[in-house]
Amino acid sequence: MTQVIPVVLSGGSGTRLWPLSREKYPKQLLPLVGSNSMLQETVARLDGLDGLSEPLLVCNEEHRFVVAEQLRVLGKRGQILLEPFGRNTAPALTLAALLARRNGDDPVLVVMPADHVILEGDVFRGAVANAVKLAEQGFAVTFGITPDCPETGYGYIQRGTGIASEDEAFSLRRFVEKPDRETAQAYLDSGDYLWNSGIFVLRASTWLSALEICRPDILAACTKALSGVSQDGDFVRVDRAEFERCPSDSIDYAVMERLSGAQENLPKSAVIPLSAGWSDVGAWDALWKVLPKCEAGNAVRGDVMLESCQNTLAFSESRLVTCIGLSDLVVVETNDAVLVAHHDATQDVKKIVDRLKADKRSVAQWHRKIHRPWGWYDGVDSGQRFQVKRICVKPGASLSLQMHHHRAEHWIVVTGTAKVTKGDEEFLVSENQSTYIPLGTKHRLENPGIVPLEMIEVQSGSYLGEDDIVRFEDTYGRN
């Protein structure tokens, strides 16, 4: 039986879903549709498929601990391949294909972005099973989403003639860029055009042989980067210097568009039409379309109360949100930002994010709640020369042995037990007890218990930035 490896590409930043999605904690890590994150839904999407192996995830360095934790919560094991720099999807797939072939194997790769929604899993798995059969014959297969409107936000694929060996597959005639409204309507009317899903099924060797012809520079750079590979716990690291030299390109531009031209020596290509409730959730209006709605067309998450509203999407993260008399609007509340936008303008959220970045406002990149490999902290309050954080440390986890030049810290334990290192001392702090860490003192916080440790930290000093940390020892290999 052919080995099938899910390759999950988790490199996007999802800026059009701000303020919920942010660069340091983007949309694929969030539970936008169900109780699981989009990445978790993607990893589990092929469960039950014949020949399925453990997943291979490609993500950037900053997200590695969150990705590993989400895999653990899902009960999955797999390889997490770290990209030291973002180089688009073609190099990401190339690293995955080279890694999959290291032991002489030639599995079929099911390449999926981590931030897509597919509501009908059974339909999708059936289409993938058909694609795997074609991939075994040397085809590079993509899925085209059957369009239901003249969408101008997607690229399109024109399908050709049917493939004799597979009733549900067609030759891939050409890719076309995002069209204007009139052209999109013509595509819809013709019945020959499908939305480009960005999902691919092909053998590892098929991708590498095509890349050798189409983009040998990417193949050479990735091969050199992988020659310096190292294993770091759950993570596979490549040579930073070699990968930095790798050109940036997408799977479509680097290879797939050239396959549709039937160039000699290139693999055969195919497109399978797919109607499975797919969305790339590229903006808030796209998310509204896939969420369950009431009879008035409203979709809500969190503590929301609506009165006389229609076609409204309302998200609440931290407090009650009430909406009265709204139509066709998006209202998103987080604990440090609020977005209000018309459905027709949600693509312009990126312009707001760009302005926030230009103003060097951290809210463009960071949430108030920051995830760390040991747990998380939430910046509850701050002012001149003070800052208050709520901290949660997972059972058995510990922060680094560290010191600060510019701040002192007061720790108050709310739940659980803290093991504290302070200078040459080591002691326990229980619920409703506190301790003080003077400026310049080496210290460490650990959770020796079996329940989460929750505490309040009050920082005081002349500078309270996160870069005022001198680490002496760290379980997680951070500098």
Concatenated DSSP letters for 137-161?
TT-EEEEEEPPSS--SSS-EEEEEE
Q: How far is CA 134 from CA 1, 110, 131, 265, in A?
A: 14, 12, 5, 18
CA 385 to chain centre: 36
Q: Quick check: 478 pLDDT over 90?
A: no
| pLDDT, tens digit, 9 for 90 and up, residues 97-135 | 999 998 889 999 999 999 999 999 999 999 999 999 999
Where b means 16+ CB within 10 Å and e means fewer, 75-110 reads ebebbbbbbbeebbbbbbbbbbbbbbbeeeeebbbb
**Confidence (pLDDT) at 101:** 94
| pLDDT, tens digit, 9 for 90 and up, residues 41-94 | 999 999 999 999 999 999 998 899 999 999 999 999 999 999 998 899 999 999
More reliable by pLDDT, 218 or 228: 218
Q: Quick check: 236 pLDDT over 60?
A: yes
| pLDDT, tens digit, 9 for 90 and up, residues 399-451 | 999 999 999 999 999 999 999 999 999 999 999 999 999 999 999 999 999 99
**Mean of pLDDT values over 373-381:** 94
More reliable by pLDDT, 416 or 474: 416
Sheet holding 425-429, edge to edge: 425-429, 418-422, 443-446, 401-403, 470-473
Domain ranges within the chain, ordered by starting residue: 4-279, 288-357, 369-473
Cα distance between residue 112 and residue 93, in whole Å: 10
Q: Quick check: 479 pLDDT over 90?
A: no
The overall average pLDDT reported for the chain is 93
**Mean of pLDDT values over 178-192:** 91
Q: Quick check: 356 pLDDT over 70?
A: yes
Tokens of 475: 């379980």
Please give the model's pTM, rounded to 2 decimal places.
Answer: 0.92
First to last CA, the chain: 45
**Mean of pLDDT values over 365-388:** 94
Which amino acid is it at 165? S
**Confidence (pLDDT) at 165:** 61
Q: Quick check: 457 pLDDT over 60?
A: yes
Tokens of 282: 């590229």
**Confidence (pLDDT) at 62:** 87
| Contact residues for 468 (Cβ-Cβ < 8 A; gap 6+) | 404, 405, 406, 407
**Confidence (pLDDT) at 260:** 74
**Mean of pLDDT values over 466-475:** 91
Beta bridge partners of 159: 172
Dihedral sign, Cα of residue 88, residue 283, residue 334, residue 31? negative
Output 325-333 pairs: Cβ under 8 A, ≥24 positions apart: 330/284, 330/285, 330/288, 332/19, 332/20, 332/284, 333/302
| pLDDT, tens digit, 9 for 90 and up, residues 249-266 | 999 999 988 887 656 688
Name the residue among 195, 154, 172, 199 with its Cα closest to residue 46: 199
Domain 4-279, CATH homologous superfamily name and number: Spore Coat Polysaccharide Biosynthesis Protein SpsA; Chain A (3.90.550.10)
Cα distance between residue 318 and residue 226, in whole Å: 43
Q: What is the DSSP string of 44-78?
A: HTTTT-TTB---EEEEEGGGHHHHHHHHHHHT---
Residue pair 427/353 in contact by the 8 Å Cβ criterion:
no
**Mean of pLDDT values over 348-365:** 95
Tokens of 340: 């209000």
Name the residue among 239, 158, 255 with its Cα closest to residue 202: 255
Cα distance between residue 100 and residue 98, in whole Å: 5
Look at the block and give the residue holding tokens 């929604």: 117
Which amino acid is it at 103? N
Q: Quick check: 231 pLDDT over 90?
A: no
Cα distance between residue 228 and residue 230, in whole Å: 7
CA 392 to chain centre: 23
Residue pair 111/87 in contact by the 8 Å Cβ criterion:
no
Look at the block and give the residue holding tokens 């079929």: 108
Q: Quick check: 316 pLDDT over 60?
A: yes
Angle at 36 between CA 30 and CA 37, to 5 degrees: 25
Residue pair 378/389 in contact by the 8 Å Cβ criterion:
yes
Cα distance between residue 390 and residue 378, in whole Å: 5
Confidence class for position 398, pLDDT limits 50, 70, 90: very high
Residue pair 155/177 in contact by the 8 Å Cβ criterion:
yes
- Asked if the 369-473 domain carries CATH number 2.40.100.10, the reply is no
